A and B are shown apart, each in its own frame.
Chain A
Amino acid sequence: EPEVTQTPSHQVTQMGQEVILRCVPISNHLYFYWYRQILGQKVEFLVSFYNNEISEKSEIFDDQFSVERPDGSNFTLKIRSTKLEDSAMYFCASSELQGNMGYEQYFGPGTRLTVT
């Protein structure tokens, strides 16, 4: 069964460093998302992406964050200068279609980002 994959599973970085989190969405999906979950807190939406541009972003997704689909399969989240509060589990998700009623969003296993 197709699934969303993410690499790395765990990333440790120093404050101020840049990190790139990678995702391979399900191959026939057209919509891509990033969410994050700070330990013990709710899963929060960061950004959605369709047709090579951002569809929607949350207030968390400030200028330090960017997303890219560099080729036909990968979808990346870059954090330019990490802060301690960026420590979280980052989930990539994808969905096949978007419509008035919406479609299932399938999540990857997550990348645990630890900023020291």
Chain B
Amino acid sequence: SQQGEEDPQALSIQEGENATMNCSYKTSINNLQWYRQNSGRGLVHLILIRSNEREKHSGRLRVTLDTSKKSSSLLITASRAADTASYFCATAYTGANSKLTFGKGITLSVRP
């Protein structure tokens, strides 16, 4: 399977703390994308990192990619209660026509 798998499955932190979420995958990828989903709602695109990139930033988000370890991490700095959501990594693997393969997601709870 080429699925992205996130860990931990659930994360609970205090507002203001940083949240780190990890994603591992099994085959070569073109890119990896992180999404947020609030309960029962749509998928909000957060950030895309391509296989030739190692790190990207967007506001309070920092994503890293280690292709040798087939893993990525999403760091949310200075978390807010509004960051409470499920976070998914999705991989577009080499040879595919850009379809995304999603992991099971991480449930992040930020306590006010």
Tell me whether A105 and B42 are in contact (CB under 8 A): no
Contact partner of A103 among B41, B42, B48, B99, CB < 8 A? B48
A84 to chain B, nearest CB (A): 20
Which residues of B pack against A, CB within 8 Å?
Answer: 3, 30-31, 33, 35, 40-45, 48, 50-52, 88, 90, 92, 96-105
In the complex, the chain B residue whose C-beta lies closest to that of A100 is: B30
- Cβ-closest 8 pairs across A and B: A109-B42, A107-B43, A43-B102, A102-B31, A45-B99, A101-B50, A56-B97, A102-B92
CA gap between A48 and B100 in the complex, in Å: 10
Given A102-B92, A104-B33, A110-B41, the answer on whether A45 and B97 have CB atoms closer than 8 Å is no
Tell me whether B50 and A107 are in contact (CB under 8 A): no
Q: List 29 A-B contacts (CB under 8 A).
A: A33-B100, A42-B103, A42-B105, A43-B43, A43-B90, A43-B102, A45-B99, A45-B101, A58-B99, A93-B43, A95-B98, A98-B98, A101-B30, A101-B31, A101-B50, A101-B51, A101-B52, A102-B48, A102-B50, A102-B92, A103-B98, A104-B45, A105-B45, A105-B100, A106-B45, A107-B44, A108-B42, A110-B41, A112-B40
Say whether chain A's binding surface is mostly helix, strand, loop, or mixed. Answer: strand
Contact partner of A42 among B42, B92, B99, B102, CB < 8 A? B102
Interface size of A as a range: 20 to 34
Contact partner of A48 among B42, B90, B98, B104, CB < 8 A? B98
Contact partner of A98 among B40, B97, B103, CB < 8 A? B97
CA gap between A107 and B43 in the complex, in Å: 6
Q: Does A44 contact B (CB under 8 A)?
A: yes
Q: Does A73 contact B (CB under 8 A)?
A: no
A105 to chain B, nearest CB (A): 6
CA gap between A101 and B65 in the complex, in Å: 14
Most A CB contacts (10 A, CB to CB) among B40, B48, B97, B99 go to: B99
